[in-house]
Amino acid sequence: MNDLQIFENGKLPNLHDAKASPVDLATEYWSPDTSGDYKVGVCVSIENSTYTREETGEEILLPCVIFIEQTKDGDLKAIRNGSKRLVATIENAVAAGQLEMGKTFLRITYLGKQKNTTNSYSSDRWSVKPIVI
């Protein structure tokens, strides 16, 4: 994504003849259904996304991991996920120097739901592993 050009000095090249980036910036929310579902790629940021609570209609800001996924076909697409455990895992790994945003290849695997010890709810569990090429 470092090859992206910006509009400056009022000059615009012929964009109709230009090649589009392979990364679709329109993110979709990843809600895995099955334990073992995974994504491979690179985490590029943690950003707030606006969501509406269905029960109350209240809008909330939810910190989400923004991830560039490489599909099995080799396509690149941006996905996001706001699981508190996943966001915290990524934040902690960055703070500890275990991964670098936009540079460390990762395999993020959904491990299923686990009952919380502090309340009656369940939370998603994740595995976040650097990929060694």
Q: Is residue 4 part of a domain?
A: no
Q: What is the pLDDT of residue 1?
A: 47
DSSP string, 78-102: EEEE--HHHHHHHHHHHHTTS--TT
Is residue 11 domain-resident? no
- Within-domain flag for 7: no
CB 31 within 8 A of CB 75: no
Is position 12 within any domain? no
Range of the domain at 44: 21-130
Q: Walk along the chain (133 residues) in steps of 10 and give the mean pLDDT of each run.
A: 66 84 84 95 95 88 95 92 96 96 97 80 91 92
**Overall domain count for the chain:** 1
Does residue 49 form part of some domain? yes
Q: 42, 102 in Cβ contact below 8 A?
A: yes
Q: Of 82, 68, 80, whose CA–CA distance to 40 is shortest?
A: 68
pLDDT at 18: 85
Q: Looking at the domain assignment, is residue 5 inside a domain? A: no
Residue position matching structure tokens 């329109």: 26
Residue closest to 128 by CA, chosen among 83, 75, 77, 73: 83
Q: What is the pLDDT of residue 2?
A: 54
Residue 31 lies in a domain: yes
Q: Quick one: pLDDT at residue 105?
A: 97
pLDDT value at position 4?
Answer: 63
Tell me, what's the pLDDT at 26?
82
